[in-house]
Amino acid sequence: MAQQPASEDLVYTPLALPSPRTHPTRPADLAAIAQRYATFRIEALTTSPKAFGSTLALETGFTAEQWAAKIWRADAVVIVCVAHPRDVAPNASSAACIWVASAILRGPMSVEEYRLSPASTDVVLGTDEDETRWQMTAVFASAAHRGRGLGKLLIQGAKDHALAYTSSRTQSSSTQRVRVRALVHPDNATVLGLYAKMGFVDVARTTGKEAYRTNGDVAEWERKLESLSDEMKGFWTEFLGAIVLEWVGDA
């Protein structure tokens, strides 16, 4: 087996995986990409189970087609960061490119889907003609490559994707805003600091239930709810504990 290059010899590049919003047809290498995503996602759920709404037990049972559907979906794009030698072009399906981090960027979301529940503190949103809205979730970096700015690369990759998508669909005579959001636990000072460095500001508070809903994890929320005591159900559905961070820019 060929020896992997040392991490200091690698370049780290964020990539948006193919989706129906960016590709007219399913790419020929989608199955290979889905297999790599499955392997990386299982690693993430094994090493950081509390970072996700889903569970290892659930996702180890997914079929190849279910994994492909996790990528090839109209409501979101998967952002990955790959490590590769300087003389190798970044490619999600290439064996020369190591997957080291990933995130899911949901969007563009309608006003109705993006707006938080009335119980939450919320921001004033524009119309669908004024702005596009996105939400980052499921952010994970491999332990072997942490400390190399992977979080910043994922966030910037998500912002760049949202800006490019919006710009390509905006009339040349008009400017449309791009709104990217993340919901973070208040005790996660490292992640809060990371988003702040990337231009995100603290704009609101919401519940754990709303975090699951806006992350697109409705089925996972139902499973979560079944596992909670009555007291904890009240906590997750009523306590405004999640910090809402947003970045807004012009396309």
List pLDDT tens digits, range 174-205: 668 999 999 999 999 999 999 999 999 999 99
pLDDT higher for 65 or 118? 65
Q: How far apart are CA 71 and CA 63, in angstroms?
A: 13
Q: Is the confidence at residue 1, as pLDDT, over 50?
A: no
DSSP helix/strand/coil, 248: strand
Choose among 30, 10, 23, 59: nearest CA to 165: 23
Quote the pTM value.
0.88
Angle at 68 between CA 73 and CA 154, to 5 degrees: 65
Letter for the amino acid at 246? E
Please tell us whether the domain made up of 7-250 is placed in CATH 3.40.33.10.
Answer: no
DSSP helix/strand/coil, 14: strand
pLDDT at 221: 82
112-121 average pLDDT score? 85
List pLDDT tens digits, range 123-177: 889 998 899 999 999 999 998 898 899 999 999 999 999 999 999 887 655 668 9
